[in-house]
Structure 1
Amino acid sequence: MARRALTTTATALTIAASFLLTGCGGGDDSSSGDIKGADTGSSSPSASAAGDSKGPDLSLPGDLKVEFDATQPSDTRHAAALGNAKNYILALNHGITAQDPNDPAYQFYSLGNATKYAKKQIQAWVDDKWTATGVDSYYKTRTDDVASSGGVLVTMCRDQGKFYGKNVDTQKTKYTKASLNDYQEFRLLMAPPKGSQKIWKVLQIEVQGRVKECQR
């Protein structure tokens, strides 16, 4: 998450062709994205609560705030998927501030490539001795059905204009000027609960940088 503080490039994990968006249902648009740490409906038995009472610690330091401006979808499946997409992003921030590439939080809310992505991002912050501070904002959220998999695609914009890197040794914050680099689009493919998997989890994540449509 400290794109401003690091020189590595965020890896955008492409959503597999078999999971490409093939249908829309219960879309959610609201006004309220590089995990900055690198450069850069209907009710059914499968609908689960967004969170879990036995979920991991997602608390953050007092100098870091993660904001989500999104209307709750009326579709219970979409609401659950969106809830844990948010938790995955919170878990990324938790892992960065905890300086733990093996933090259980992101592992709880992810599978496959999304788990690898989170670990790589957190490791980059740790290796370069940066933690996160400021405000990480997400907005213009929508949810769409992925007919081929039964999953839900969560899309949201990100504004990291007030999100900064702080050196863990000196505690000095690296401030930068606002630019188009601050605006990103996140696409998170959410896998539904199945078998021993009791909650919606992020299976794939794709991050696009310098997105003009996300400017506000």
Structure 2
Amino acid sequence: MVIRRRPGVLAAPALTATSVLALSGCAADDSASVEDADEGTATPPRPSASSGTGRPEIDLPSDLKLIFEDGRTGDRVKDAVLADNAERMRAVDAAIAGTDRGGEAVGFYNTGKALEAATSWVARFEEADATVTGEVRYFDRKVTLKEKSSALLTFCADESKGFSKDRTTGEIAKTPVTRSPREAAAR
């Protein structure tokens, strides 16, 4: 199974090296691709290479917690799309945090323009000598199957407890929680 994303709708608002993400941002992805998800059992919430799926192992640092709600719909295909969405988000954060320096997981869960956007996103943090810390909660995750091989995925993210952290000093950049990234930028 492969999930493909368009760069304009990757996730919630942008996290810069000096600001927290918006209180709640919602995203949609109408370019998810579902391949052979009808075969076998539903994908587990956290697939890994050690589970025999051939998927890369994704490890996050102990100071970063990602919570994915609404992971089971009862529909095998939708559950697989939700599981891959969670792993895709974990893969990008693992690359930013430095636990996936080679970007193996980012490359597994992204292709084409989505891969370009994900690697560019990771590079921004590297250039700023920053990483991510805290907690991000993904909720209202919904999948609509559009065709046999594509799906629409929408979700919201509460990133009010997620922050950037300077790799050298360990200083955590906390900013006031706002409803919009524009409000945060205007401060």
Please, what TM-score do these two structures have when normalized by structure 2? 0.71
Tell me how far 1:102 sits from its aligned partner: 4.5
- In structure 2, the partner of 1:160 is 159
- In structure 1, the partner of 2:15 is 36
- Secondary structure of 1:177's counterpart equals coil
Q: Equivalents in 2 of 1:100, 1:76: separation in Å? A: 29
- In structure 2, the partner of 1:173 is 172
In structure 2, runs of 5+ residues without a counterpart are: 1-5, 22-33
Q: Summarize the alignment of residues 1-40 of structure 1 with structure 2, pairs less than 5 Å apart.
A: 13-14=7-8, 33-34=12-13, 36-37=15-16
Is this contact kept in 2: 1:139–1:156, CA < 8 A?
yes
CA RMSD of aligned residues (A): 2.9
- In structure 1, the partner of 2:43 is 49
Q: In structure 2, do the counterparts of structure 1 residues 37 and 72 end up closer, same or farther at CA, with 3 Å as the change threshold?
A: farther
- Secondary structure of 1:73's counterpart equals coil
Tell me how far 1:155 sits from its aligned partner: 0.8
Q: Equivalents in 1 of 2:106, 2:15: separation in Å? A: 15
Q: In structure 2, do the counterparts of structure 1 residues 75 and 99 end up closer, same or farther at CA, with 3 Å as the change threshold?
A: closer
Identity of aligned residues (%): 21
Q: Equivalents in 2 of 1:35, 1:93: separation in Å? A: 13
Tell me how far 1:47 sits from its aligned partner: 7.6
Is this contact kept in 2: 1:67–1:138, CA < 8 A?
yes
Is this contact kept in 2: 1:92–1:122, CA < 8 A?
yes
Q: Equivalents in 2 of 1:102, 1:37: separation in Å? A: 22
Q: In structure 2, do the counterparts of structure 1 residues 58 and 98 end up closer, same or farther at CA, with 3 Å as the change threshold?
A: same
Q: Summarize the alignment of residues 19-168 of structure 1 with structure 2, pairs less than 5 Å apart.
A: 33-34=12-13, 36-37=15-16, 44-45=38-39, 49=43, 51-52=47-48, 53=52, 54-98=54-98, 102-147=102-147, 150-168=149-167
Is this contact kept in 2: 1:46–1:77, CA < 8 A?
no
Is this contact kept in 2: 1:101–1:119, CA < 8 A?
no
Please, what TM-score do these two structures have when normalized by structure 1? 0.62
Q: In structure 2, do the counterparts of structure 1 residues 116 and 124 end up closer, same or farther at CA, with 3 Å as the change threshold?
A: same
Structure with greater helix percent: 2
Q: Equivalents in 1 of 2:144, 2:102: separation in Å? A: 31
In structure 1, runs of 5+ residues without a counterpart are: 1-11, 16-32, 183-208, 211-216
- Secondary structure of 1:34's counterpart equals coil
Higher relative contact order (CA 8 A, sep 6+): 2
